[in-house]
């Protein structure tokens, strides 16, 4: 049983701390998170205006081992995006699947596969919450958003934003250097 825990609290019990990213103070009393890609990629993106710690969990989905010992991977089913942010601010319940690429890396098809993998990871978490925490509505009323951040090290520019990025094939694509965003900007397009 969940003992009245929120979905975020259940996820924090469920997910190993080593697979999460902690919030930091932005120096102005607000929260930020730095999403880091380790070497050899070696770049990062900062998201400002993050919800409070009890309202959000940031999961490094790359820590989830590839299921290639079970699946063949011929259709991309072993891929996953870099990060998943699950937030419940009381006003918004959202799951952000984020794939980051330096330069022009990654084909559109490859990125869609990675975002679909993150969506499957969340579906797996949803099933675990429903079965093992006995919460039938676990993560049920969250809206999914899919974001690809590209050209992280190239000239500052935002391009090709799909206003309804609620399916992996409708990605919000951000191309920008400076590598910082506002949390609410990543949610734009919510209905």
pLDDT at 68: 77
Q: Side by side, which strands form the sheet with 83-88?
A: 56-60, 83-88, 93-100, 143-150, 172-175
Residue 48 in 3-state DSSP? strand
% of the chain with per-residue pLDDT over 90: 50
Indicate the pLDDT class of residue 53, thresholds 50, 70 and 90: very high
pLDDT recorded at residue 37: 86
Which of 11-25, 63-77, 92-106, 167-181 has the highest mean predicted lDDT (pLDDT)?
A: 11-25
Q: Based on the number of CB atoms within 10 Å of its own CB, is 39 exposed (0-12), middle (13-18) or buried (19 or more)?
A: exposed
Q: What is the mean pLDDT of residues 109-137?
A: 94
Q: Match 């990060």 to its residue by tokens.
A: 83
Q: Of 54-58, 125-129, 172-176, which gets the smallest average pLDDT?
A: 172-176
Burial grade of 72 (CB within 10 A; 0-12, 13-18, 19 or more): exposed
Query: How large is the average pLDDT for residues 89-105?
Result: 86
Under the banding of pLDDT at 50, 70 and 90, the label for residue 75 is: confident
The stretch 71-76 carries a mean pLDDT of 81
Token digits for 45?
């993106």
Q: How many residues does the chain have?
A: 191
At residue 62's C-alpha, the angle toward residues 142 and 51, to 5°, is: 40
Query: What contacts 75, CB < 8 A, 6 or more positions away?
Result: none
Mean pLDDT computed over 27-52: 90
pLDDT for 28 equals 94
- Provide the CB-side half-sphere exposure for 172 (13 A, CA): 20
Residue 159 has pLDDT above 60, yes or no: no
């Amino acid at each position: 049983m969940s003992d009245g825990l929120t979905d975020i609290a259940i996820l924090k019990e469920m997910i190993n701390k080593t697979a999460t990213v902690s919030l930091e103070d932005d120096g102005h009393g607000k929260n930020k998170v730095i999403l880091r890609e380790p070497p050899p990629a070696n770049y990062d993106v900062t998201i400002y205006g993050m919800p409070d710690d009890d309202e959000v969990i940031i999961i490094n989905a790359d820590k989830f081992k590839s299921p290639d010992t079970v699946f063949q991977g011929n259709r991309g089913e072993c891929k996953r995006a870099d990060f998943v942010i699950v937030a419940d601010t009381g006003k918004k319940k959202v799951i952000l699947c984020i794939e980051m690429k330096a330069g022009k890396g990654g084909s559109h098809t490859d990125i869609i596969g990675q975002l679909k993998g993150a969506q499957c990871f969340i579906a797996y978490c949803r099933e675990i919450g429903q079965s093992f925490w006995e919460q039938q509505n676990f993560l049920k009323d969250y809206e999914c958003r899919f974001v690809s951040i590209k050209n992280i090290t190239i000239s500052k520019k935002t391009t090709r934003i799909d206003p309804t990025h609620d399916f992996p094939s409708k990605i919000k694509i951000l191309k920008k250097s400076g590598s910082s965003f506002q949390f609410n900007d990543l949610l734009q397009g919510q209905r």
